[in-house]
A and B are shown apart, each in its own frame.
Chain A
Amino acid sequence: MERDVLKSAVESLLFVAENPLTVQRLCEVIDGVEKKNIVSVLTDLQAEYEGAGHGIRLVEVAGGYQFRTARENADWVKKLLSGRPPRMSRATLETLAIIAYKQPITRAEIEAIRGVDVDGVVSTLIERALIRAVARKDVPGRPFLYGTTREFLETFNLKDLTQLPTLKEMEEIALAATGEEEPDEPPTEE
């Protein structure tokens, strides 16, 4: 298949896809094309959209590729969609961070780190499909072990979990941190 034709086809598929499209899936749909050719046109497309004058980016996220609006246009897009973006409270975000780094992890283990009860927050995260129960821990009571979902990667624009900043880096930040307080927000949990 000619390169231009392939690029055009890939672009169309990306446009209609609801979720990030994997290279694997693209290969299945456009059969008879080598993986490396697909990756190569994806890279081309990414570069083209990255160029000036485009309000759309081709982003590699959650193991696939997806068209997303450019960050600088967020305000207008929000106005058009007239929806409030789901706000995440500090408690929710902290709990999510703990789960992301320590998964699979039980509620009790999260509570040990945060020093507070996390039942409500964990339910909220499940509701938002950012985490899910992945297994049960082999200890008395067989508690659930939680892990992050594909939606988590999609929400935070991560290709995969390895893209999270390493905790070693975080440790350095922690030691250096004497910065000012974040503005406190009212708890939005139940």
Chain B
Amino acid sequence: MTKVQLPIFEGPLDLLLHLIKKNEVSVTDIPLSMITEQYLATLELMQSLNLDVAGEFLVMAATLIHIKSRMLLPAGEDEADEEEGEDPREELVRRLMEYQRYKDAAEELQKREVLSRDVFVRPSGSAEGFTPVGFGEVSIFDLISALQAVLARLPKEELHEVTLERISVRDKMTFLLEVLRQPGRVVFQDLFRDMSSRIEIVITFLALLELVKIRAIRILQEERTGPIVIEPTGAIEDSEGLEAEKDQAGSRHGT
């Protein structure tokens, strides 16, 4: 069995640039037949390796074939290079060059003195990375079990009721931050105490996860079976930033 080494391509443009570089040809004068052939061969290889070939790769394959066919038309291939707008490859070349520009920009960024990789600052004493003694971080599975416990306590709904609930993740995030503004920790189960609808509980849970994601809160558990507690990290003071995050969350999960 032969071992196939295939680099990870970030997308069709990335793959094309790779082929152009590999064949040592110019971006501005792509030998389209050759590159298209190799492009399709790579896609085939990716598929045979069971790699996920995203739709974008196929769109590009179609584009390449389309350009190739246009180039076969007798519209004066020779003048194409002199006359801008004549070369069917022009749009592709523009995209490739633009993408290359940002690939290079990314490389330039990578070369800089990157914080926490090349240079370091004094670790801040309080907020980040500090976990009180005896408390451990909670895994998502613990949280889901806790959520199931909360949901299990709900009375069984006998009737199927259709109501339009106007609760959004964003609202619940605001609510949670409000609750957490009071000093001390909040116990997970207590958050849901006054909630009676399944959807409200689930949305509150999602809001909780969003807040963890943006590092506004921390969820801790004293021991495996102990209560799960929530506390603010104090990391988000920039309310503008939070607004933006909340907007985002709201637009993704809003009901």
Same assembly: yes
Cα distance, A66 to B119, chains bound together (Å):
11
Proximity bits, B93-125, A CB within 8 Å = 1, else 0:
001011111111111111011111111111110
Contact A156 B109 (CB under 8 A): yes
Cα distance, A83 to B117, chains bound together (Å):
10
Q: Using a CB-CB cutoff of 8 Å, which residues 27-71 of chain A contact chain B?
A: 57, 59, 66-71
**Quick one: given A94-B106, A127-B213, A133-B244, are A186 and B8 in contact (CB under 8 Å)?**
yes
Cα distance, A156 to B114, chains bound together (Å):
5
Count residues of chain B with CB under 8 A from any CB of chain A.
50
Query: B131 at the A/B interface (Cβ < 8 Å)?
Result: no
Contact A187 B8 (CB under 8 A): yes
Cα distance, A67 to B120, chains bound together (Å):
9
Q: Which residues of A contact B162 (CB under 8 A)?
A: none
Interface of chain B, main secondary structure = helix
Q: Using a CB-CB cutoff of 8 Å, which residues 64-93 of chain A contact chain B?
A: 66-71, 74, 77, 81, 83, 85-86, 88, 90-91, 93
Q: Which residues of B contact A185 (CB under 8 A)?
A: 8
Contact B115 A71 (CB under 8 A): no
**Quick one: given A93-B109, A114-B10, A115-B12, are A174 and B100 in contact (CB under 8 Å)?**
yes
Proximity bits, A102-115, B CB within 8 Å = 1, else 0:
00000000000111
Count residues of chain A with CB under 8 A from any CB of chain B.
59
Contact A66 B121 (CB under 8 A): yes
Cα distance, A153 to B97, chains bound together (Å):
26
Q: Which residues of A contact B97 (CB under 8 A)?
A: 171, 174
A124 to chain B, nearest CB (A): 11
Q: Which residues of A contact B18 (CB under 8 A)?
A: 181
Q: Which residues of A contact B119 (CB under 8 A)?
A: 57, 59, 68-71, 74, 157
4 residue pairs, one from A and one from B, having the closest CB atoms: A116-B11, A97-B105, A133-B244, A97-B106
